[in-house]
Amino acid sequence: MDECKVIIMGFGSVGQGVANALSMKKDLIKDKTGVSVKVVAAADSSSSAISQDGLDEELLVKTKKEEGKLAAYPEFGSDKSGLDVLDAVEYDCLIEATPTNIVDAQPALSLTLKAFEQGKDVVTSNKGHLALKFKEIVGAAEEAGVEFKYEASVGGSMPIINFTRDTLASCEIKSIKGILNGTTNYILSRMTSEGSDYEVILKESQELGIAETDPTQDVEGIDAACKTVILANSLLGIDATYSDVKVEGISNINSQAIELAKKDDYLIKLIAEVSPENLQVSPRLIKRGSSYDVSGTLNMATIKTDLADEVSVIGLGAGSLETASAMLTDLISILKNKN
C-alpha cells in the first residue's frame, strides 16, 4: 500500500484537529509507514467536500471556520452528508469523529457498519456506539476482516487502550481505576482549591469553554460511564453495555463535603472503576498525594496487572489536537500492519 485515502466524518473540534494534525504529520506518517495519506472527503453534519484527487486539510479547516459549512469548500463543496459520502468517493479508511450519541448511537453506528461492509478500516473517537453495542461492532469488524481502532474514545491524548494492549502485553489486566472525565476533574479541582460552590465553578467552566452549555453528559458521569464500558469490553473482556454501569455524577457535591474531606487530607474525585466485580462511576474520597491526585482537566488511570503490579498513565483528557494525536497513532498502527 503506497497511498491511504481517508474520509474525515464529523468536522467539529476533533475532525478539524485531525485535519490540522494530518497536515502537520504527513511526512512523519510517510517515514514511519511508507504510506502517503490523502483526505478524499470531509463531512460536517449537513454538507461535505469531496475530491478523489485529495483535499487541502488547511483549507478544509479554514472553510469550516469562516463559512460554517464544508459545502463552501472551493470547487469540491457538496450537499452530500452522512452515509452518502461513503458512496461518493473511493477510500481506504474512515476517520469517524461525529458527536457521541448515547441514545441510539447514530450516526456513528450506521457509518461504522457501512464502512465495514465496504471492507474499509475505521478509526473513531466516538463513545456512543461502543458504549451501547461494543460486541456487535467489534464482531462486525472481525467478520469483515478490517481494522477498527478507538484509542481516542477514552482519555483523549492519554493513551490507555493501545497502552494496555501493547506495552503491557505480557500481563493479565485485573482492574482499571481512574479519572476519565476532564471537565468534572476541573470543576472538583477548582472547588477544592478555591472553596467555592459547585454552581459557581460550573458557570465559570462553561464561560471558559471547559464545560458545555448542557453539561449533563460530563457532570452526571455519563461520559465517564461510556468510557468505563469501553475499557471493560476492550481490556478486561467483560461483555458489558452502558446500562451495566452504576453511575453517580458530581452535581450533588457541595463545598462543605469538599472541606470536610480536606481536613483529613482527602480529596473528592469522580472515579471510574472497571473490574469483573464492579463497573462504577462515582465520587470517591482519595488520599492527597496518591496517584489519583491529578488536577485540572487531566485524566489518569491505574492499571492493576499480575506481573507488573500497578502502572499508571496521565494525560490530557480532551482537546482538538490531543484527541487527533490518538487517532493518528491508530492510523499509523493500521498502516504499519498493511506493509
Query: Where do contacts with a second copy occur on this chain (CB under 8 A)?
Result: 21, 24-25, 28-29, 32, 151, 157-159, 162-163, 166-172, 288-289, 291, 293-295, 305-316, 319, 321-322, 324-326, 328-329, 331-333
**195 assigned ligand-binding residue:** no
Is 12 annotated to bind a ligand? Reply is yes
Helix (H, G, I), strand (E, B) or coil at 124: strand
What grid cell was written down for 123? 478509526
Of 52, 107, 118, give the one whose Cα is nearest residue 83: 107
Q: Cβ closer to a second copy: 88 or 314?
A: 314
- Rounded least distance, CB 237 to a second copy, Å: 12
**Which residue, chain included where needed, has cell 449537513?**
46
Q: Confirm whether residue 54 is marked as ligand binding.
A: no
CB 99 within 8 A of CB 12: yes
CA-based torsion, 285, 258, 242, 137: positive or negative = negative
Nearer to a second copy, 23 or 118 (CB): 23
* Residue (30 or 114) nearer to a second copy, CB: 30
> Least CB distance from residue 262 to a second copy, whole Å?
13
Please count the CA atoms within 13 angstroms of the CA of 39 that sit on its side-chain side: 28
* Distances in whole angstroms, Cα of residue 207 to Cα of each of 130, 200, 201, 281: 30, 11, 10, 26
Least distance from a second copy to the Cβ atom of residue 251, Å: 26
Distance in Å, CB of 88 to a second copy, minimum: 28
- Closer CB to a second copy, residue 109 or residue 326? 326
Query: Residue 53 or 289: which CB sits closer to a second copy?
Result: 289
Q: Is 241 exposed, middle or buried (0-12, 13-18, 19+ CB in 10 A)?
A: middle
Q: Is 15 annotated as a binding residue?
A: yes
Instruction: List the beta bridge partners of residue 299.
Output: 315
Task: Tell whether residue 18 is among the known ligand binding residues.
Answer: no
Q: Which is nearer to a second copy, 203 or 336 (CB)?
A: 336
Q: All 3 cell numbers of residue 136?
A: 456487535
Min. distance of Cβ 133 from a second copy in angstroms? 26
At 193, the amino acid letter reads: S
Is 163 assigned a ligand-binding role in the annotation?
no
Catalytic choice (227, 246, 304, 336)? 227
Q: Where are the alpha helices (DSSP H) in the chain?
A: 13-33, 57-67, 83-88, 108-117, 128-144, 161-162, 182-194, 198-207, 216-219, 222-236, 255-263, 320-338
80 in catalytic set: no
Report, in Å, the least distance between residue 158 CB and a second copy: 7
CA–CA gap between residue 188 and residue 232 (Å, rounded) = 25
The pairs formed by 166-170 with CB atoms below 8 angstroms and a separation of 24 or more are 168/303, 168/305, 168/308, 168/311, 170/307, 170/308
77 assigned ligand-binding residue: no
Whether residue 14 is annotated as binding a ligand: the answer is yes
222 vs 306: CA distance, rounded Å: 30
Residue positions forming the annotated binding site for NADPH:
127
Catalytic residues: 227
Residue positions forming the annotated binding site for NADP(+):
10-15
Residue positions forming the annotated binding site:
10-15, 127, 212
